[in-house]
């Protein structure tokens, strides 16, 4: 007798009926870092029918402190995160179908992945991708669970199309910068806490228990012993272009996406943020100064050099990444240091 899920079935919120439902569902995880690997392992152990993981990056030594699916060998061989995750996950539960996609989670990619997805998990490291996920969610009526962490801080929020405010209602615009794990560090318990919030919400969605979905946006700081939850229900906007009465899904349009291009005749990539706006070079310099790289400034731009790559940031938001021609790698570097 196979009692693999017996303890989960004994839990009144799931039961045998809920376990059967879980085994037939498909979860898309965008990102295979700390949040992505943690959610993937929990859901594969829980017996979800199919898990699709998309990530453009490879395993590095600095990942091993918190990204639980990966090994020293993965880092030494620079194995793509999605590939390494699939190899580990299939050893954990061979009955779960795991699909690994090594690539950028852009509009075209997510448009092609949404068709049979029941829930989307945000495990990315930037708001560009999150806003695309948000519009995909609203357009195709797929619930998703937002999550982020840096330092000892974490945040999570469950978004159900037609029911809750969407991320666009809450944020309205994409931030041009902010702290990242590479600039502010991170402790693994913070990532683990966000994973717990996200996975619990996903399991509620998979068994159809909408009554117990957390209605609040929750945030915490484990080091400072702080915990906050707010009810964002009143923030839902009738005229929101993503979830309002006349949605236009702005972040699925080309003009609202981050642009990246290899500069002709130069070993450089230019990245232009989707949203126009002045970048605070002084604040950015303060954030980057924590990474140990070399910083130079003049009234017009900021130059930052680290690990053989040089980033030149302009006040209008543009960034030149020198010493590279691969756009996917350039995006990884961009989001690693600039959020």
Q: Which two tokens stand for residue 241?
A: 């272009």
What sign does the CA torsion over 151, 153, 154, 155 have? negative
pLDDT value at 49 more than 50: yes
- What's the pLDDT tens digit per position in 196-216? 999 999 999 999 999 999 999
What are the DSSP calls for 203-224, one per residue?
Answer: HHHHHT-GGGS--SEEEEETTT
> How large is the average pLDDT for residues 59-73?
94
In angstroms, rounded to a whole number, what is the distance separating the alpha carbons of residues 277 and 243?
A: 24
pLDDT value at 181 more than 50: yes
Q: Which two tokens stand for residue 268?
A: 């450089």
pLDDT, position 38? 98
Q: 300: pLDDT confidence band, cut at 50, 70 and 90?
A: confident
Helix (H) or strand (E) holding 100, with range, is strand 97-102
Whether the Cβ atoms of residue 285 and residue 294 lie closer than 8 Å to each other: no
Cα Rg, the chain, nearest whole Å:
20
pLDDT, position 275? 67
pLDDT value at 45 more than 50: yes
138: helix, strand or coil: helix
Return the active site residues: 181
In angstroms, rounded to a whole number, what is the distance separating the alpha carbons of residues 289 and 234?
A: 39
What sign does the CA torsion over 177, 122, 291, 261 have? negative
- What's the pLDDT tens digit per position in 230-265? 998 888 999 999 999 999 999 998 777 777 777 665
Domains observed in the chain: 6-252 (3.40.50.720), 258-338 (3.30.310.10)
């Amino acid at each position: 007798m196979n009692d693999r899920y017996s303890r989960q079935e004994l839990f009144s919120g799931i039961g045998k009926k809920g376990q059967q439902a879980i085994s037939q569902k498909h979860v898309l995880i965008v990102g295979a870092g700390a949040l992505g690997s943690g959610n993937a392992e929990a859901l594969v152990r829980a017996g979800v029918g199919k898990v699709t993981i998309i990530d453009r990056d490879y395993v590095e030594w600095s990942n091993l402190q918190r990204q639980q699916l990966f090994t020293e060998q993965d880092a030494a061989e620079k194995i793509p995160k999605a590939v390494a995750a699939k190899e580990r996950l299939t050893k954990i539960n061979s009955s779960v179908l795991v699909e690994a996609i090594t690539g950028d989670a852009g509009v075209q990619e997510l448009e092609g992945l949404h068709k049979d997805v029941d829930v989307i998990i945000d495990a990315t490291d930037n708001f560009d991708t999150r806003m695309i996920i948000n519009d995909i969610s609203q357009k195709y009526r797929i619930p998703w669970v937002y999550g982020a962490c840096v330092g000892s801080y974490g945040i999570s929020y469950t978004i159900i199309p037609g029911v809750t405010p969407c991320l666009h209602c809450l944020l309205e615009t994409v931030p041009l910068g902010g702290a990242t794990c590479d600039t502010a560090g991170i402790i693994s318990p913070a990532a683990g806490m966000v994973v717990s919030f996200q996975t619990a919400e996903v399991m509620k969605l998979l068994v159809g228990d909408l009554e117990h979905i957390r209605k609040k946006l929750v945030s915490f700081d484990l080091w400072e012993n702080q915990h906050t939850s707010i009810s964002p229900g009143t923030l839902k906007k009738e005229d929101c272009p993503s979830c309002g009465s006349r949605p236009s899904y702005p972040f699925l349009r080309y003009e609202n996406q981050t642009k990246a291009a290899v500069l002709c005749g130069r070993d450089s990539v230019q990245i232009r943020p989707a949203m126009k706006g002045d970048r605070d070079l002084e604040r950015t310099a303060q954030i980057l100064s924590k990474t140990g790289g070399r910083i130079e400034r003049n009234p017009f731009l900021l130059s930052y050099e680290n690990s053989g790559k040089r980033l030149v940031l302009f006040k209008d938001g543009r960034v030149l990444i020198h010493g590279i021609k691969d756009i996917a790698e350039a995006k990884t570097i961009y989001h690693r240091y600039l959020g």
